[in-house]
Amino acid sequence: MIFIVFIFGLLIGSFLNVVILRVPENKDIVFMRSHCVKCKKIIPWYFNIPVLSYIFLKGKCNVCKTGISLQYPFIELITGFLSVFIYQKYFHVDQFQSVILFFIFCLFICQFFIDLKHFILPHSINIIIGLLLLLLVVFEKDWTHWGLGFCFGFFPLYIFSLIYEKLRGQIGLGGGDIVLFGMLGIYLGPEKIFYNITMSCLFGVLVTILFLSFGKISKINKPVPFGPSILIISSIQILYPNFLESKFISLFTLI
């Protein structure tokens, strides 16, 4: 069964690659056939098998021999391992929850790589994340939990962004980041979304300092995307409830 779950994950990962590539460009993700981004030739199904096709083709298009990004098999593999992880951790406890969580984390993967490349978090994906998170809590918690969570995650940051843009003449926090915080607040609630925002900012600052230290970016370069930090912290909060909160409280107790 684990093997079947892993194969399922690989197939979903192949579709995630399509989402990551096409959504930022507003292209169709359902009916448009897979094709080489260079020569535009349609990729036949037998050259579109997750991971195996990349190995067989030696990472090159079968027609024009243009190199294929290692991102494709990488995302397929991490989605495969994700499916196995979710299956083993949740499926025997709650099948519905395990399926919803799997697709939430699939969308996290999409947003992670889209933000790394394009510095955006598409609202369409954020909204689907919010709807899936709502499905996890709507039957367990009252509306004040997810209602206040959304408000605490969205409105303070939205107001801050407007004020910052008014005073500095530049965007302080991207709209996609703000919407994502709002969507996460639906599941996390008002208290945990506060921890999320704080820990995401701290993690983002740490990553930026590391990048500066190793010369990966400079002050004149484009900024480090914030979305991956939000998604990493959110993943930990969802998979391991109260872990980060306990660390957060311990940190500020020491301070």
Q: Is residue 35 part of a domain?
A: no
Q: Is residue 7 part of a domain?
A: no
Q: What is the CB neighbour count within 10 angstroms for residue 115?
A: 24
Q: Is residue 36 part of a domain?
A: no
**How far, CA to CA in Å, does 31 sit from each of 27, 28, 93, 141?**
10, 6, 36, 38
Instruction: State which residues form the domain around 185.
Output: 139-255
Q: Is residue 195 part of a domain?
A: yes
> Who's near 47: CB < 8 A, 6+ residues apart?
53, 56, 57, 62
Q: Is residue 176 part of a domain?
A: yes
Split into its structural domains, the chain has a count of 1
Q: Across the chain, what does the average pLDDT equal?
A: 87
Q: How confident is the model at residue 106 (pLDDT cuts 50, 70, 90)?
A: very high
Q: What is the pTM of this model?
A: 0.91
pLDDT at 167 over 90: no
Q: How confident is the model at residue 236 (pLDDT cuts 50, 70, 90)?
A: very high
Q: Is residue 114 part of a domain?
A: no
Q: Is residue 198 part of a domain?
A: yes
